[in-house]
Amino acid sequence: MSITNLLENWSDFRQQHPSDDRPHREYKWAMSIDLDACTGCNACSVACYAENNLPVVGKEKFAHGHSHHWIRIERYWDNDGREFADQGAQFLPMLCQHCEAAPCETVCPVGATNHTADGLNSQVYNRCVGSRYCNANCPYKARYFNWYDYPTTDNVWPEPMNQQLNPDVTVRGKGVMEKCTFCVQRLTVAKSDARSEGRSVLDGEVQTACQQVCPTGAISFGNLVDPLAKVGKQWMTQQVELNKDKQAKDTAEEAAKLRGYRILEELRTYPSVMYLEQLRESAI
Ligand code: SF4
Ligand code: SF4
């Protein structure tokens, strides 16, 4: 079966089984990324490596098609006849979209990937058997397989670099799938602190590592259920709704000026990441 068939079938399936029967109570974590602010500096990707103990695969393995970055910067070039360096480039940070109806979750034979009550697409490493079905079914190609036992086989973290490992995150072994977790370790601490004080996590109280380092403030993260959260306000202003596969803007005039969209919405995956981008003349 070709990937096109697979995704079309998935879209048909989602149309028969909409996901609006899963209300989120206290939290629904979501992100927005302003592509007009993103400069493609890659700081977010580097921060994600450091925060989440990602191994650097190195030039040789990369040349053989092996990559291992939970957030990658995709580049798009203007096709308007201009030559490099005048030619315009656009950058798009791509990470797990934490879909509400995630195609990766339904195909895992052992239930290693599943949905949390606060809207995360989670991955249970010690249950994963490395079938990689989730990887095949992810339309965003945001899942990464561990081909090597990095800390031992390849000595990726030689002394004293091993001291920079984040003790809040496990170092994964060979044979499991990995992906962006929306920095779940930070969310867990924030939720636990808030619970002990008898309140909910406040907007801005928890940041993802990629958001924290972005020099242009392109990344926003927060709780969509919280009406005061910046990310929720952004989604609302842009008239992007979580459980819709086709965003209906109020008027055609607004549709022309609003910048928010989600990637491959028509597949009914209901992504939790909204991108913002001005339509450029060269793209028309
Ligand atoms: S850190 Fe910010 S500006 Fe740099 S690539 Fe990531 S999103 Fe873009
Ligand atoms: S949210 Fe956390 S895990 Fe996901 S890409 Fe950003 S830094 Fe990495």
Closest residue to atom 1 of ligand 1, CA basis = 214
- What residues in the chain have per-residue pLDDT under 50? 284
Ligand 1 pocket check for 44: Cβ under 6 Å? yes
The confidence score (pLDDT) of residue 148 equals: 82
- pTM, rounded to two decimals: 0.89
140 lines ligand 2 (CB under 6 A): no
Instruction: Tell me how far CA of residue 257 lies from CA of 10, 18, 47, 276, in angstroms.
Output: 31, 29, 33, 11
Report the sign of the C-alpha dihedral through residues 254, 258, 260, 266, in that order.
positive
Which ligand has its closest atom nearest to the C-alpha of 207? 2
pLDDT of residue 164: 87
- Residue 258 Cβ inside 6 Å of ligand 1? The answer reads no
Q: What pLDDT is stored for residue 259 in this prediction? A: 93
Q: 150: CA distance to ligand 1 center in Å?
A: 27
Ligand 1 contact via 42 beta carbon (within 6 Å): yes
Ligand 1 near 40 CB (within 6 A): yes
Q: Check if 176 has its Cβ closer than 6 Å to any atom of ligand 2.
A: no
CA distances (Å), origin 41, targets 46, 158, 192 = 10, 27, 33
Atom of ligand 1 nearest to the CA of 43: 1
